[in-house]
A and B are shown apart, each in its own frame.
Chain A
Amino acid sequence: MSVSLSDASIYRFLWVYPALQESVERMKPVGKHSLGASGEISDFQEILRYLDELILYDNMWDDGNSLGPKEVHNYLTRVMYNRRNKFNPLWNSLVLGGVKNGQKYLGMVSMIGVHFEDNHVATGFGNHLARPILRDEWHENLSFEDGVKLLEKCMRVLLYRDRSAVNKLQIAKITEEGVTISQPYALKTFWNFAAFQNPTVGAEGSWKVTITGDSLSLPPSPTMGDSSSTVIDYGNRLDI
């Protein structure tokens, strides 16, 4: 998900899923721009190879001209659309951000080749959950810090509502000079809602769930014997 800001810079968030390794990077700098993807990671890696070659040849010309984000976005659209036409899509939703000659550009390409440019874009669930927030709260003169807060707000919504999300994320800041991608960091979340306190109270025989960690630690439910209780500890994961 990405947002464009007032001071000729763009930044975006990205979920990082630590399931397979330390962290799978779904956002990479591509020349002076930055490309993020959701979907099939292997296809994303393949796209990065294409773009690597594209940027290399562009740099080797060394003629004072270089591909801007609009051009790279168009190239990606061509690649995605042509693959879809051959019934062999690259299974990704791509977000490309860049700044050239003071012009900010934020574009998206889906796996079927749908492409557009906007002040804020998102992939997957972000389109449904985050973009309404962004539509309301984005404005032309967002500063970097406000933009980060806005995106963190959206990401928190996604974290709460998407069962397969993790609270780690990275921010990329893209300016005319280039891209800086932050280290993955964790969002603080709050799970101490009353409804979570005794989730199995109405369902006799289910797994007993105790939620510990967070700022308060809760005592285990006294209803049944503790042998079959499952403890979900959010303590460690918040401090990543």
Chain B
Amino acid sequence: MSSIGTGYDLSVTTFSPDGRVFQIEYAAKAVDNSGTVVGIKCKNGIVMGVEKLIASKMMLPGSNRRIHSVHRHSGMAVAGLAADGRQIVARAKAEATNYESVYGEPIPVKELAERVASYVHLCTLYWWLRPFGCGIILGGYDREGPQLYMVEPSGISYRYFGAAIGKGKQAAKTEIEKLKLSEMTCREGIIEIAKIIYKVHDEAKDKAFELEMSWICDESNRKHEKVPEELLEEAKAAAKAALEEMDAD
């Protein structure tokens, strides 16, 4: 999968002989180097969780937000280069408020995902722009119910039941596939996501991490917000307990 595209990887406007654009693939590698981001669509909403690797002990807990609200009813979790992510979030917010001021209703999640994806794709078309080095998991709750989308640095966007990006994405995807998402409520989803993130966190390579989670569900009045403190603590405790059980085997 990884190959050095000597000569064909200098610009995002160059194809290689076997039809690949290497710059975009390198951008995807930037995403793979960041902490895991997981999102699932439950029966009554969306839950997203981020494994925030703590770069320095000097950082205050709660800083370095990785999950952002895009509008009342939707939010996105960002993996990869944080500064690039900020740009995409700002653009998504602008798109959402613009849609609402023109059409009078909150932007449908599908529409928002398309707009974000085209914006990301835009930066892969010109040699004087570099692709965004971040992957986005976008969750929202509109008239069609809860929806989860993932946008990659290439500009591809698909709708998912469960998605994961970042370091532990392979392991996380395997875990998600084990879950019965169509019967799960968001409360249960929170515990499951916490368990997954704790599980895929690599103790050897990265020391400490902070878990950040958000949800959009009927319980939160279909608003995107951080998971309430008590639920978060409950989830963390359950995840740690599950880990210990596994280690005990």
Which 8 residue pairs of A and B lie closest in terms of their CB atoms, listed nearest first? A60-B69, A53-B97, A62-B69, A62-B226, A56-B72, A49-B101, A60-B93, A56-B97
> Which residue from chain A places its CB closest to the CB of B69 in the assembled complex?
A60
> Which residue from chain A places its CB closest to the CB of B226 in the assembled complex?
A62
Indicate if B201 sits at the interface (CB-CB under 8 A): no
Indicate if B71 sits at the interface (CB-CB under 8 A): yes
Interface of B is mostly: strand
Interface residues, chain B, with chain A CB atoms under 8 Å away: 65, 68-72, 93, 97, 101, 225-226
Q: What would 9 more interface pairs be, CB under 8 Å, given A53-B101, A56-B72, A57-B93? A: A49-B101, A53-B97, A56-B71, A59-B69, A59-B72, A60-B68, A60-B70, A62-B65, A62-B226
In Å, the complex CA distance between A67 and B210 comes to 28
In the complex, the number of residue pairs spanning A and B with C-beta atoms less than 8 Å apart equals: 18
In Å, the complex CA distance between A62 and B69 comes to 8
Instruction: Please name all residues of chain B whose beta carbon is closer than 8 Å to the beta carbon of A53 when the two chains form the complex.
Output: 97, 101
Interface size class of A (residues with CB under 8 A): under 10
> Which residue from chain B places its CB closest to the CB of A49 in the assembled complex?
B101
* Shortest distance between the CB of A47 and any CB in chain B (Å): 14
In Å, the complex CA distance between A62 and B101 comes to 22
* Shortest distance between the CB of B248 and any CB in chain A (Å): 38
Pull 6 A–B residue pairs with CB atoms less than 8 Å apart, ordered by A: A49-B101, A53-B101, A56-B72, A60-B69, A60-B70, A62-B69
1/0 contact string of A44-88 vs chain B (CB within 8 Å) = 000001000100110110100000000000000000000000000
In Å, the complex CA distance between A49 and B97 comes to 11
> Which residue from chain A places its CB closest to the CB of B68 in the assembled complex?
A60
In Å, the complex CA distance between A60 and B71 comes to 7
Instruction: Please name all residues of chain B whose beta carbon is closer than 8 Å to the beta carbon of A60 when the two chains form the complex.
Output: 68-71, 93
Instruction: Please name all residues of chain B whose beta carbon is closer than 8 Å to the beta carbon of A59 when the two chains form the complex.
Output: 69, 72
Instruction: Please name all residues of chain A whose beta carbon is closer than 8 Å to the beta carbon of B97 when the two chains form the complex.
Output: 53, 56
In Å, the complex CA distance between A57 and B89 comes to 12
* Shortest distance between the CB of A5 and any CB in chain B (Å): 29
In Å, the complex CA distance between A57 and B72 comes to 9
